[in-house]
Amino acid sequence: MASDQDQKTGMKEHWKALLIICLVSLSSFQYGLDFGIIGGLQAMIGFLQVFGEEAPDTPLGWNINAERQQLISSLMILGAFVSSSTAGFTAKYFGRKMSLWIACAGVFLSTAVMQATTEIGGLYAGRLIIGLSNGLLMTHAQLYIQECSPGRYRGFGISIFTYWVSVGSLVGTVIDNFAAKIHNRNAYIIPLGIVHFIPLVLTIGLFFIPESPRWLATRMEDAERALRRLRPAGWSIADEMDEMKTTLAAEAKLQSSVGYRTLFRNPIDRRRTILSVLGLTTQAASGAMFIISYGTYFFEMANVGNAFENSCILTGTGVASLLFNALIITKYGRRRVMMVTGFIVCGLSQLIMAIVYTIEPGTPKTGKVIVGLSVVYIVAYNACISTYAWLSGGELASQRLRSHTFGLATALGFFGAWLTTFTAPYFINPLKLGWGPKYGYIWTGSCVIAGAWIWFYLPEVKGRTLEQIDEMFEARVPARKFRKYQCTGHHVTLDEKPQTDHVESQSSHGDSSEPKNSTTIVSGTEI
């Protein structure tokens, strides 16, 4: 079986698949780069001279009104929400590679528009288009990684994906740090020009990698050729193909239709959909988008040292914590324990920041405390929340509905991020409420609620195959009993009469240490 041979092969043997995963995961680098750059632009004199207004009472002497600030950050996330919510459609008609190519074209177009325009409307249009592109990149890149990764390294693949987000954000922040010294339009035109690089690499690289074998599953010869390009010499392709066929046959017995309404049609699918969506959207509940989107501006207006240098320190620490997590996730990555720990630390960090700023606003001592606790916060978020939230969104979903469920979860995650970036200026902008770090009071409560939900309702599925996860959900096992439940290999749905025209499914290959999140097609339709 594929699961047996997976246990006997390591990273060295799987170098081709892991290299391809690294290439596709650059999609998240582009997403992080955009956030890193756009957050810094709003604290640049050259940018504010074009899109902002003079404000002698602020540290920079320039500011941008809250409405423009809202739209610049939130339109990107709104676009990502729209495009990721269509994942079921784009997966069905375009596949993974074509969807990524379309996204790259959108990044080229949107960045050129933002570089050329001096009108706020043109900037808004560029932000919306790049949001649509980023949504496609984030959704389909993860689906590709889930479908093509060796079962043993699927969690590692998602860790690398989230790692590139912070690397991109760090690179963007560093670029802004140097560009901020330019006091004309080049201050933002040059950083935006860097955004063209990653889509160019992706556009070329996609020509040299196979389409997802799960997306090609109804064309078995094409799927087999794609699989051969992903697996090492000596790998039994026949065994993995047989498992794909067997799983497709089993999934065909589950339900007669596939679509967004199907996600909530029966109690089992409804439970899995809710868990997947809420598991992924806990990222927004942590308040991370507040720190990521407005970190530089937040430090500048709070008069906390050199804002750009502080942001570089913050992002660099996040990169290090994600790299650490990638090294330990396969062995130690228990979802519930890691995420609850992360929310406790994130909540306490923001609470202490808010209290200290309330008592002594704007003092050097307070500034040091805010920077230090921001570092603690980002370490906890990247090491304990980000990766595991993405994993939950993929591994808890019903196999036949994975693209629809993951697309919905990603869309709602982007909606939560949009809500944060849209409302944050009202709280932190000096021209509005001017709360600054006191905004942390709100996110402390949000962290408490999210952590409590995870502890009581999120199943622990570390070390389980997707087939075992299916079995436990079909047996209606309570969340608190998932970790110690003994699977028998019997699926209740296999006793049902097949009535399905087409379903989404998974390969049953992989080992017991990593979840498998791949997607396949039956009867010519992919979900």
110: confidence class by pLDDT, cuts 50, 70, 90: very high
Statement: residue 511 has pLDDT above 60: no
From the list 125, 131, 116, 155, the residue with the least C-alpha distance to 34 is 131
Statement: residue 238 has pLDDT above 60: yes
64: confidence class by pLDDT, cuts 50, 70, 90: confident
Task: Give the per-residue pLDDT at 526.
Answer: 34
Q: Which of 105-109, 122-126, 497-501, 506-510 has the lowest mean pLDDT?
A: 506-510
Compare 486 and 56 and report the one with higher pLDDT.
Answer: 486
Please give the average per-residue pLDDT across 105-112, as a whole number: 95
Q: Which of 46-60, 380-394, 505-519 has the lowest mean pLDDT?
A: 505-519
From the list 172, 129, 128, the residue with the least C-alpha distance to 28 is 172
60: confidence class by pLDDT, cuts 50, 70, 90: confident
From the list 461, 505, 502, the residue with the least C-alpha distance to 480 is 461
Please give the average per-residue pLDDT across 450-465, as a whole number: 88
Statement: residue 250 has pLDDT above 90: no
Task: Give the per-residue pLDDT at 514.
Answer: 39
**What are φ and ψ of residue 458, in 5° steps?**
-85, 120
Statement: residue 281 has pLDDT above 50: yes
From the list 439, 299, 286, 425, the residue with the least C-alpha distance to 371 is 299
Q: Is 214 helix (H, G, I), strand (E, B) or coil?
A: coil
Kindly state the percentage of the chain with pLDDT values over 70.
82
Q: Read out DSSP for 336-381?
A: HHHHHHHHHHHHHHHHHHHHHHHHSTT-HHHHHHHHHHHHHHHHHH
**pTM for the model:** 0.76
506: confidence class by pLDDT, cuts 50, 70, 90: very low
95: confidence class by pLDDT, cuts 50, 70, 90: confident
Among 12-26, 71-85, 427-441, 442-456, which range has the highest average pLDDT? 442-456
Task: Give the per-residue pLDDT at 426.
Answer: 76
Sign of the Cα torsion 407, 129, 75, 28 reads: positive
Statement: residue 392 has pLDDT above 80: yes
**Residue pair 76/84 in contact by the 8 Å Cβ criterion:** no
- Mean pLDDT, rounded, of the chain: 79
Among 19-33, 299-313, 328-342, 421-435, which range has the highest average pLDDT? 19-33
243: confidence class by pLDDT, cuts 50, 70, 90: low
438: confidence class by pLDDT, cuts 50, 70, 90: confident
Task: Give the per-residue pLDDT at 521.
Answer: 34
304: confidence class by pLDDT, cuts 50, 70, 90: low
Question: Tens of pLDDT along 16-59?
Answer: 888 998 899 999 998 888 877 887 787 788 888 888 888 777 77
The count of C-alpha atoms lying within 13 angstroms of the C-alpha of 277, restricted to the half-sphere facing its C-beta, is 21
Task: Give the per-residue pLDDT at 23.
Answer: 92
Task: Give the per-residue pLDDT at 527.
Answer: 30
Statement: residue 524 has pLDDT above 60: no
From the list 369, 319, 366, the residue with the least C-alpha distance to 349 is 369
Dihedral angle over CA of 222, 223, 225, 226, nearest 10: 120
Statement: residue 129 has pLDDT above 90: yes
Task: Give the per-residue pLDDT at 508.
Answer: 36
Among 101-105, 488-492, 510-514, which range has the highest average pLDDT? 101-105
499: confidence class by pLDDT, cuts 50, 70, 90: very low
Please give the average per-residue pLDDT across 294-298, as a whole number: 59
Q: Which of 44-58, 69-83, 107-121, 428-442 has the lowest mean pLDDT?
A: 428-442
**What are φ and ψ of residue 521, in 5° steps?**
-125, 150
Q: Which of 77-86, 341-350, 463-472 has the lowest mean pLDDT?
A: 463-472
